Structure 1
Amino acid sequence: MSDSAAVSPSATRAMKIVAVLAAISTLAAVVWSSSLPLWLGLRVYSEQVLLIVLSCSMAITLMTRPRRRGSSRPPDRFDHGVALVALIWGAVMVIRFPVLSQNVFYHPTEALILSSVGIVLLLETVRRSMGWALIVILGLVVLYALFSSNLSGPMQSRSIRWDRLLTFMVLDSASLAGAALYIAVAVVVPFLILAQLLLQTGGSAFFSDLSLALAGRKRGGAGKIAILGSALFGSVSGSAVSNVASTGAITIPLMKDGGYRPRTAAAIEASASTGGQLMPPIMGASAFLLAENLQVAYGEVVLAALIPSILFYVALYIFADLEAGRRGIASVEPSRIPAMAGVMAKGWFVVVPFAVLLGGLFVLNMRPETAALYAVLSLFVLSLFKTYEGGRIKASALVEAIVKAGRSAVEVVLICAIAGIIIGLFSRSGLSFGMGFFLVKLGEGSLILLLLVTAAVCILMGMGLPTVGVYLLLSTLAAPPLIELGLNPMSAHLFVLYFGMLSMLTPPVAIAAFVAANMAGAPPMRTGLEAVRIAWPAFVVPFLFVASPALLFDGAWWQVVLALGTALVGVYFVTAGVVGFLWGTVGPFARLALITCGAAALWPPGAPMAFGVMAVGLAGCALLVVLLRPGVRPGQAAG
Structure 2
Amino acid sequence: MTGIPAPRRTPGLSPAIWRPVAHVLGACLTLVAILWALGVPRMLGISFYPQQLLALVLGLAMPIAYLSLPARIGADRDIAPWYDVVAALASALAVGYLVIRYPALVNLVFSRPLGVWLPGLVIILLLLEALRRAAGMALVVIIAVFLLYALFGDLVPGRLQGRPQDWQMLSGYMAFDSNGILGTPIAVAATVVVTFILFGQLLGVTGGSAFFTDSALLGMGRFRGGAMKISVVASGLFGSISGSAVANVVGTGVITIPMIKRDGYPAHKAAAIEAVASTGGQLMPPVMGAAAFLMAEFLSVPYSHIVMSALVPALLYYIALFIQADLEAAKLGISRVPASEIPQRRAVLGGLHFVLAFVFLIYTLFSLNWQPERAALVAALSVVVTALLFGYRGGRPRFGTILGTISATGLSVVEIILISGASGIVVGVLNVTGLSFNLTYALVQIGAGSTILLLALSALVCIVLGMGLPTLGVYVLLAALVAPALVQMGIEPIAAHLYVLYFGMMSMITPPIALAAFAAASIAKAPSMATGFAAMRFGWAAYVIPVLFVFSPTLLMIGAPLEIGIAIVTAVIGVWLISAALAGYLTTRLGPLHRLALAVFGLMSLVPAGVASWGIVSDLVGVVGGAVLLVHAFFFQKPSTAPETAT
Q: What TM-score does the superposition give when structure 2 sets the normalisation length?
A: 0.93
Q: Read off the aligned partner of 1:40 and give its amino acid letter.
A: L
2:244–2:470 CA contact under 8 A, matched in 1: no
CA distance in 2, matches of 1:181, 1:58: 13
Q: How far does residue 90 in structure 1 lie from its aligned partner after superposition?
A: 2.3
Any idea what the Cα deviations from partners look like across 1:323-374, whole Å, max 9, x if unmatched?
0110001111223223434312x21221111111111100000011111111
2:477 corresponds to 1:473 = yes
**1:181–1:413 contact (8 Å) kept in structure 2:** yes
Matches within 5 A, 1:106-125: 108-125=113-130
Distance 2:425 2:227 in 1: 45
1:538 equivalent in alignment to 2:542: yes
In structure 1, the partner of 2:3 is none
Q: Which of 627, 637, 640 is the matching residue for 1:630?
A: 637
Structure 2 counterpart of 1:132, from 124, 131, 137 = 137
585-594 or 474-483: which moved more? 585-594
Deviations 1:612-638 (A, max 9, x none): 2222222321232244341346799xx
Query: Is 2:595 the partner of 1:588?
Result: no
SS in structure 2 at match of 1:69: coil
CA distance in 1, matches of 2:325, 2:388: 39
Provide the C-alpha distance between the structure 1 equivalents of 2:139 and 2:641, rounded to a whole number of angstroms. 55
1:262 counterpart = 2:272: no
Distance 2:154 2:138 in 1: 26
What letter is aligned with 2:345? M
Aligned partner of 1:165: which letter? L
Letter of the 1:212 counterpart: L
1:616 maps to 2:621? yes
Quote the residue 1:59 is aligned against.
63
Task: Give the letter aligned to residue 562 of structure 1.
Answer: I
Q: Which amino acid aligns with 2:177?
A: D
Kept in 1, the 8 Å contact 2:582–2:595? The answer is yes
Q: Give 1:603 deviation, angstroms.
A: 2.1
What is the CA–CA distance in structure 1 between the aligned matches of 2:49 and 2:400, rounded to whole Å? 32
Q: Which moved more, 1:130-139 or 1:82-91?
A: 130-139
Cα RMSD over matched residues?
Answer: 2.0
| Partners of 1:329 and 1:122 in 2: CA distance | 50
Q: How does 1:589-604 map to 2 (within 5 A)?
A: 589-604=593-608
Structure 2 match to 1:438 = 442
Q: Alignment partner for residue 492 of structure 2, among 464, 488, 493?
A: 488
Please list every run of 5 or more consecutive structure 1 residues that lacks an aligned counterpart in the other structure: 1-7
CA distance in 2: counterparts of 1:444 and 1:390, whole angstroms: 65
Task: Return the offset for 1:289.
Answer: 0.6
**Counterpart position of 2:101:** 96
Residues 600, 617 of structure 1: 8 Å contact kept: yes
2:580 corresponding residue in structure 1: 576
Q: Summarize deviations over 1:147-201 as a string: whole Å, max 9, x none.
A: 3445666444543222111110111111110111100101110000000000000
Letter in 2 for 1:380: V
Q: Which of 337, 354, 365 is matched with 2:369 structurally?
A: 365
Q: Which amino acid in structure 1 is aligned with residue 602 of structure 2?
A: G
Aligned mates of 2:241, 2:143 — CA distance in 1:
31
Q: Judge conservation of contact 1:444–1:485 (CA < 8 Å) in 2.
A: no
- Give how far 1:247 is off: 1.5
CA contact (8 A) 1:155 1:434 kept: yes
Q: Normalising to structure 1: TM-score of the pair?
A: 0.94
Paired residues of 1:68 and 1:128 also in contact (CA < 8 A)? yes
- Could you tell me which residue of structure 2 aligns to residue 190 of structure 1? 195
- Secondary structure of the residue aligned to 1:384 is helix
1:398 paired with 2:405, answer no
Cα distance in 1 for residues equivalent to 2:77 and 2:285 = 40
**2:234 is aligned with 1:229:** yes
- Greater displacement, 278-287 / 152-161: 152-161
SS in 1 for 2:390: coil
Residue 304, structure 1, aligned to residue 309, structure 2: yes
Distance 1:16 1:283, change over 3 A: same
Structure 2: gaps (5+ residues)? 1-11
User: Number of residue pairs matched?
Assistant: 628
Question: What corresponds to 1:46 in structure 2?
Answer: 50
Q: Partner letter of residue 233 of structure 2? A: L
17, 20, 25: which one pairs with 1:13? Answer: 17
| Aligned match for 1:504, one of 508, 511, 516 | 508
CA contact (8 A) 1:548 1:563 kept: no
2:360 maps to 1:356:
yes
**Which deviates further from its counterpart, 498-507 or 146-155?**
146-155
Matches within 5 A, 1:207-246: 207-246=212-251
Contact 1:443 1:485 in 2 (8 A): no
Between 547-556 and 370-379, the greater mean CA deviation after superposition = 370-379
User: Which residue identity is paired with 1:307?
Assistant: V
